[in-house]
Chains A and B, each alone.
Chain A
């Protein structure tokens, strides 16, 4: 056999071995931590940073983008589909996740006997309880207590006029917030009245005619797809009080209000200032 015939084979093997080298480059960095945790929930990542325990955080998701330091943590995947392999490779002592969205990965992790912490804050009190628990687990109880005190005080300070508010999460389909969502609880607690608080679903798909009928005094747009001007132009919206009195708010970062984390106070303050204007 001629040597020439081997050449394609060698090229092929070389390519394959190069490809095999590739995953090595993305292997998790060897981070030393006494207690290793992974957060699959952006809001929990924020809490861990606020507690000053980011040194224990060995992995998070691509959605964990706040604070700046969170972006540099090793990514185990996205919010919906984190990679089990990467999670296991990090040898975590505890994984933070949320249900029901992450049910599939939760079951798999359970099966591997890795400890989990399920984050499901239904309201403001639930969030405070979670902060306390996380503080206890990560050994930052004092910091947690001071954070809780800070948030409780902050909440008391923020006052809203009693008004009807419509919150839009998505435009295609048209999604708002229902009674059982964290944000609805937060707003109602501060005397803003969610026009869809009669719906049980967390994030219900609503009808245009219902929005008009319920005539909100504030429209809060929490997605980047439309701007204030677009909302004004919608047919049938010109009669809504919020449009007439131009209280359509579109420039609050959705993460501030939708993530049950440390930044909700910032979000609420921004909302208050926008309404006052």
Chain B
């Protein structure tokens, strides 16, 4: 079987990377550390990288814009605002931050939805514009809150860049696993719209004439994508680059059919984030911001593939 036909073959490198990630680290091969620290982290990397890339591919298809990333709908900025707001209440327990972030990503989703709905219909352009608008609003508010809460700039940068160094407690682990289960269900729902996303590439009017219910499609995909991005951002902050570039990477290998592209994006994204995380954890004695690593290693790789496969 050719690689081109079966995106699930990426599972092989992904599993390999997951094991590598489990056994690599400054603290050696302690059983305790592998199971309690690295295993949740590996799951987090697969979850975040996979979901961001999957949603990135979906939104690029839905909005017919190859420059879309999962954050274009303004969800991440809402979550960031939630996180920064939780800093303002100094005594606020750290373990509630994901919940706070998710609550605010829901609020920004609601804002975008209201803004983008024009006479009962959501249109692509108004969706993008509302997303950008809400994004600007919440980013500014976040900065404002951060200045008021006397946070150091380096901390703000870490917050914005995203990282996988979530401190798990048994409770957060359960919340996370529950989120993963819900996300798998939502991903499956999005995947069920793969054919519609394919047809959208032929233009909106032809899609309508073929029997695609565009209004419904836009609404459902927008809401599910937003929820998924809200989940990810709540746990790891906004990791950039992955959701934008991995779908293009997947297209280079598997073509444009969303039925192959979406799972391929998930697996590629998960792998890329695992690799980046291994580097972020081991390259220096201190932990490096993840987005920096994803971009530094992702960009040359992507350029190479682009030249080679074109």
Contact = CB atoms under 8 A, between A and B. Distances in A.
Contacts of A234: 167-169
Contact of A235 (B36, B153, B281, B285): B36
Interface in B109-128: none
A198 B26 CA distance: 13
A225 B93 contact: yes
A221 B37 CA distance: 20
B158 interface: yes
Contacts, number: 98
Interface in B83-108: 83, 87, 90-95, 97
B159 interface: yes
Interface in B140-171: 147, 150, 152-155, 158-159, 163, 165, 167-171
Contact of B94 (A205, A213, A225, A239): A225
A32 interface: no
Interface string A159-180: 0000000000011111100000
B26 A235 contact: no
Nearest to A208: B37
Contact of B92 (A201, A203, A209, A225): A225
Given A198-B285, A207-B287, A208-B165, A172 B27 contact: no
Interface residues of A, number: 33
B33 A236 contact: yes
Contact of B287 (A173, A198, A212): A173
A207 B41 CA distance: 12
Contact of B286 (A80, A172, A199, A226): A199
A239 B37 CA distance: 12
B151 to A, nearest CB: 9
A153 B300 CA distance: 59
B95 A230 contact: yes
Nearest to A226: B94
Given A170-B155, A235-B40, A213 B286 contact: no
Contacts of A206: 286-287
Contact of A212 (B27, B92, B154, B285): B27
Contact of B158 (A205, A225, A226): A205
Contact of B27 (A199, A201, A205, A210): A210
A237 to B, nearest CB: 9
B171 A212 contact: no
Given A172-B83, A209-B25, A224-B91, 8 more contacts: A78-B150, A174-B165, A174-B167, A198-B285, A206-B286, A207-B26, A209-B37, A213-B28
18 contacts: A79-B150, A170-B152, A171-B94, A172-B94, A203-B154, A204-B286, A205-B286, A207-B26, A208-B37, A209-B38, A213-B30, A213-B33, A224-B91, A225-B94, A230-B93, A235-B36, A235-B173, A236-B36
